């Protein structure tokens, strides 16, 4: 009887990931509840998106923790990060585009925290000599987001296999398209 708000959120995330313009009614149906009940738990679409944003931030934070960005080489940390963040990629892409609509408003500070942690990882790689220094950590972070979105889209549209997700992103992000000199 008692509705599980977390279950509703995760269902909504899964749906909106596929169809970003889904109606409140569709979200409710997908979660197996009525529109009225959905509205009892989330004041409106805005509140729902905000809650999804918090969920996404929390999952990202958890992924960052699980990836132990401070351990081992930066490359290894990037691989762990991509692996850990893969399940959130779809939700991330949705929130990414959704955030662009909040033009005037200030964005949730949680994103800054996440950006900073990822940027710090790339900076660590630069300081250790692993990563090149002509690409800023901010750009590498943004590029990672873009590649995550592209890969998620490829998998979702059936143009790519889910098993290749991590490999595609990590290899391109770290190694690039050029063939290495096997001297």
Binding site residues, its own copies, CB under 8 A: 19-21, 75, 78, 97, 100-101, 103, 122, 125, 129-136, 138-140, 142-143, 145-147, 149-151, 153-154, 159-160, 164, 167-168, 171-181, 183
Closest distance between DNA and the C-beta of residue 100, in Å? 16
Cβ–Cβ < 8 Å for 137, 87: no
How far apart CA 67 and CA 61 sit, in angstroms, is: 10
Nearest-10 Cα torsion for 17, 18, 19, 25: -80
* CA–CA gap between residue 96 and residue 52 (Å, rounded): 12
Count other Cβ atoms within 10 Å, centred on residue 110: 15
Please choose which of DNA, its own copies, none residue 40 contacts, taking the beta carbon within 5 to 8 angstroms, the exact cut-off set by kind. Answer: DNA
Residues that bind DNA (CB under 7 A): 1-3, 23-25, 32-37, 39-41, 43-46
Please state the closest distance from residue 6 (CB atom) to its own copies, in A.
Answer: 26
Give first-to-last CA distance, the chain, whole Å: 66
46 binds, among DNA, its own copies, none (CB under 5 to 8 A by kind): DNA
Cβ closer to DNA: 26 or 142?
A: 26
């Amino acid at each position: 009887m008692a509705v599980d708000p977390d279950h509703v959120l995760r269902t909504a995330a899964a749906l909106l990931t596929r169809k970003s313009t889904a109606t409140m009614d569709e979200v409710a149906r997908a979660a197996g509840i009525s529109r009225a009940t959905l509205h009892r738990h989330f004041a409106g679409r805005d509140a729902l998106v905000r809650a999804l944003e918090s969920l996404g931030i929390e999952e990202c934070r958890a992924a960052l923790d699980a990836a132990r960005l401070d351990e081992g080489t930066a490359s290894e940390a990037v691989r762990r990060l991509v692996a850990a963040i893969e399940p959130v990629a779809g939700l991330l892409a949705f929130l990414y585009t959704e955030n662009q609509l909040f033009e005037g408003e200030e964005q949730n500070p949680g994103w800054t925290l996440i950006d900073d942690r990822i940027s710090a990882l790339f900076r660590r790689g630069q300081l250790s000599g692993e990563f090149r220094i002509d690409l800023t950590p901010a750009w590498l972070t943004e590029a990672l987001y873009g590649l995550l979105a592209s890969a998620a889209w490829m998998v979702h549209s059936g143009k790519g296999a889910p098993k290749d997700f991590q490999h595609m992103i990590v290899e391109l992000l770290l190694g690039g398209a050029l063939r290495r000199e096997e001297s």
